[in-house]
């Protein structure tokens, strides 16, 4: 069974701090790893990572994948109160009976205080 | 605008009743998915469908049923056999087999009273 574990489960910081969110995974046939941000309702897409060692960047957010060690990190620099959300990591299975199945971690609840 | 529409946004159900959650997409996506989210937890897969008239059980399918008679629609029925149905339900769709990620609906919050 595919498994995704995120840490920490919750994090409280002040504006301007830098945070690192962790995601480790076990999947039978790895296709890609995705990060989502969930504020109130629908998760919104942040990054899709397929290759090791290639950093993806969008503004203050960046992410990288290590396929040898089976983990990914999501960095947020100069945090703002608008970054407060649940951050979800998920892995996409690309083989066998689980083809196309996206398995999520528990999420990290990030709270940014002014 | 293309997207996924879930209805209703809030739903209350008495114990022992079946209830159906609607999910419609106009993105021409092949695959559709249902996830359940409990407070403080991630998303858990209930059912998914990659083509019309075909669907597969996810990790927590017991007490739920689905149909996929049209490409655009993937309704989820929460049956009386589901022992703890109070949760937030999210529908998603993807091109092909999710290689380009998923698009999510806004969710339905189901409460058993």
Q: For the residues A63-89, what does the mean pLDDT come to? A: 96
List the end-to-end C-alpha distance of chain A, in Å, as a whole number. 41
pLDDT at residue number B1: 62
DSSP-assigned letter for residue A53: T
Cβ atoms of residues A2 and A93 within 8 Å: yes
Q: Which residue of A has its CA nearest to B44?
A: A104
Task: For B16-62, write each residue's pLDDT tens digit.
Answer: 899 999 999 999 999 999 999 998 778 999 999 989 999 999 989 99
pLDDT at residue number A36: 94
Cβ atoms of residues B75 and B23 within 8 Å: yes
Q: Which of B42, B50, B59 sits opposite A100 (nearest CB)?
A: B50
Residue A33 to chain B, least CA–CA distance (Å): 9
Q: For the residues A37-42, what does the mean pLDDT come to? A: 88
Q: How far apart are CA B69 and CA B82, in angstroms?
A: 23
Say whether pLDDT at A97 is over 80.
Answer: no
Say whether pLDDT at A40 is over 90.
Answer: no
Work out the pLDDT band at A35, boundaries 50, 70, 90. very high
Contacts of A44 in chain B (CB under 8 A): 104
Say whether pLDDT at B102 is over 80.
Answer: yes
pLDDT at residue number A100: 77
CA dihedral of residues B25, B86, A37, A48 (deg, nearest 10) = -60
Q: For the residues A51-71, what does the mean pLDDT come to? A: 94
Work out how many CB contacts closer than 8 A connect A with B.
63
Most confidently modeled range among B46-55, B69-78, B96-105? B69-78
DSSP-assigned letter for residue B8: -
Q: Determine, for residues A107 and B41 on separate chains, whether the beta-carbon distance falls below 8 Å.
A: yes
Q: Determine, for residues B33 and A45 on separate chains, whether the beta-carbon distance falls below 8 Å.
A: no
Q: Which of A41, A92, A106 sits opposite B41 (nearest CB)?
A: A106
pLDDT at residue number A75: 98
Residue B90 to chain A, least CA–CA distance (Å): 7
């Amino acid at each position: 069974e595919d498994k995704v574990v995120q840490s920490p489960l919750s994090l409280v910081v002040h504006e301007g701090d830098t945070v690192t969110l962790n995601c480790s995974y076990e999947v039978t046939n790895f296709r890609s790893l995705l990060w989502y941000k969930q504020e109130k309702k629908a998760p919104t897409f942040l990054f899709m990572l397929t290759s090791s060692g290639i950093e993806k960047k969008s503004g203050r957010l960046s992410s990288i994948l290590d396929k040898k060690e089976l983990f990914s990190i999501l960095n947020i620099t100069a945090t703002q109160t608008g970054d407060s959300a649940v951050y979800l990591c998920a892995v996409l299975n690309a083989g066998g009976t689980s083809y196309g199945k996206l398995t999520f971690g528990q999420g990290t609840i990030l709270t940014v205080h002014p | 605008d293309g997207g996924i529409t879930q209805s209703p946004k809030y739903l209350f159900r008495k114990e022992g009743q079946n209830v159906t959650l609607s999910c419609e997409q106009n993105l021409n996506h092949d695959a559709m998915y249902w996830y359940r989210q409990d407070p403080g937890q991630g998303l858990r897969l209930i059912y998914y469908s990659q083509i019309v008239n075909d669907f597969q059980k996810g990790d927590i399918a017991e007490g739920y049923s689905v149909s996929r008679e049209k490409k655009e629609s993937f309704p989820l029925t929460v049956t009386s056999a589901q022992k703890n149905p109070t949760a937030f339900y999210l529908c998603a769709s993807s091109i092909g087999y999710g290689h380009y990620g998923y698009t999510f609906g806004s969710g339905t919050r189901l409460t058993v009273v």
